Copies of this chain bind each other. A is one copy, B any other.
Amino acid sequence: MSEIKRIGVMTGGGDCPGLNAVIRAVVKTAILKYGLEVVGIKHGYRGLYLGEDEFVPLTLHDVSGIISKGGTMLYSSNKDNLFDYSYIDEHGQEQRGDVSDVGVNNLKKAGIDALIVIGGDGTLTSGRDFARKGVKVIGVPKTIDNDLASTDTTFGFDTAVATATESIDKLRTTAESHSRTIVVEVMGRYAGFIAIASAIAGGADAALIPEIPYDINKVADAIKENRARGKNFAIVVVAEGAKPIGGDVVISKVIDNSPDPIRLGGVGEVIAGQLEHLAGLECRATILGHTQRGGSPTSNDRILSTRYGSYAVKLLMEGKFGNMVVLDGTKLGYDSLENVIGKNKAVEESGYWIKTARAIDMCLGD
């Protein structure tokens, strides 16, 4: 049905546990099941632009043992969009413009018939745009935040939640022994999946997520209520994108001896400062940061990544170009890249995350 003989694979955007497992599954399925050749394109779209030197043949040997490794063996780059790209022209001048034809050409030169693009919304948008130009593209969704529409779960999310939960477990014994409130800031700028999942798994008292503006007094009240019941400590999980009712958290920050101002602290620290005053327990904040993006993927994420990678090759061979692999319950399927781009998924009031949190009376700040 297909005349595909050699496929390319690349990873784009921020780090996410499971990327290597997807690459490995692509390589194993392509070679062992379909007799294809696989070319890895390093550094995402930047590599596609640079061509040749960034193109490496991928063998079974190359992917042996990488299923358990964090990061991506193909490296990644952020915000490289060949349809609006900054580059140095032949006269040494910096230019900005559409260089996507260079990418298309490089694929042709390398004899690559089709492309598997693993990435988040930005990476997949470019994938769609290359599909529009006739490149045979299959997308694989990637986000630790789990906020991509059209798919129930993305790989990397389980690992991020596991890492956050493990940290909460560690902080909990300290909170209890020292009668403290500990505020844990986790990732999630636009969606609160990591926050609410790790709050449930970590047995937290409250989870503050971008989807539900919080009233800091409600959070303090929940802590005080629990104290009245004899629980002399509290764990509050906060998504980095959590916002108070009626407005943003305002943080002014200046570092005198730094050339440029950089981000200092975050919403977690602000909330910790407020709760210490309002809830009457000593309060500390911990910001988990990039540890959530790294590390060996959980077995669960390795399996999902393997399924995604294998299925992407299958879709290619079935000629389902321009689609993205999606998970619906336990079943894999696909949806058009045209359809899924730009649609974010949020934690919904009617969904099971919030239902579960409310069923065990977890404070959500409202």
Interface segment among A50-58, A271-279, A318-326, A334-342: the answer is A271-279
A251 engages B255 (CB within 8 Å): yes
Contacts of A200 in B (CB 8 A): 302-303, 306
Q: Are A252 and B249 in contact (CB under 8 A)?
A: no
| A86-94, A124-132, A290-298 - the one binding chain B | A290-298
A352 vs B161: C-alpha distance when bound (angstroms): 24
Instruction: Check if A348 is an interface residue, CB within 8 A of chain B.
Output: no
Residue A364 CB within 8 A of the other chain:
no
The interface residues of chain B lying within 8 Å CB-to-CB of A352 are 307, 330-332
Q: Are B163 and A170 in contact (CB under 8 A)?
A: yes
A123 at the interface (CB under 8 A from B): no
Give the shortest distance, in Å, between A128 (CB) and chain B (any CB): 23
In the complex, the answer to whether A291 meets B76 with C-beta atoms within 8 Å is: no
Interface residues of A in 49-100 (CB under 8 A from B): 60-61, 64-65, 67-72, 75-78
A259 close to B273 (CB less than 8 A): yes
Digitize A162-191: 1 where CB-to-B-CB distance is under 8 Å, 0 elsewhere. Answer: 111111011111101111001000000000
A100 to chain B, nearest CB (A): 23
Q: Give chain B nearest CB distance to A356 CB in angstroms.
A: 5
- A329 & B329 in contact (Cβ 8 Å cutoff): yes
Find chain B residues with CB under 8 A from A203 CB. 24, 64-65, 67-68
Which residue from chain B places its CB closest to the CB of A67 in the assembled complex?
A: B203
Q: What chain B residues lie within 8 Å of A28 (beta carbons)?
A: 359-361
- Of A65, A254, A299, the most chain B CB neighbours within 10 A belong to A299
Chain B residues, Cβ within 8 Å of A166: 299
- Whether A158 sits at the interface, judged by CB under 8 Å, is yes
A contact residues vs B (CB 8 Å cutoff) = 14-15, 19, 24-25, 28-29, 32-33, 60-61, 64-65, 67-72, 75-78, 152, 158, 161-167, 169-174, 176-179, 182, 197-198, 200-203, 229-231, 249-260, 262-265, 269-270, 272-274, 277, 284-287, 289-291, 293-296, 298-300, 302-303, 306-307, 310-311, 313-314, 328-332, 352, 356, 358-361
13 new A-B contacts, CB < 8 A, other than A15-B177, A170-B293, A253-B254, are A15-B174, A60-B230, A67-B202, A70-B170, A163-B170, A169-B296, A198-B299, A253-B265, A259-B274, A262-B272, A264-B264, A286-B290, A287-B287
A-B contact pairs, 28 of them (CB 8 A): A14-B178, A60-B231, A65-B172, A71-B177, A75-B177, A76-B177, A77-B178, A166-B299, A167-B291, A169-B294, A201-B302, A201-B303, A251-B264, A252-B254, A252-B256, A253-B253, A258-B270, A260-B273, A262-B270, A262-B272, A262-B273, A285-B289, A300-B300, A303-B356, A306-B356, A310-B360, A329-B330, A332-B352
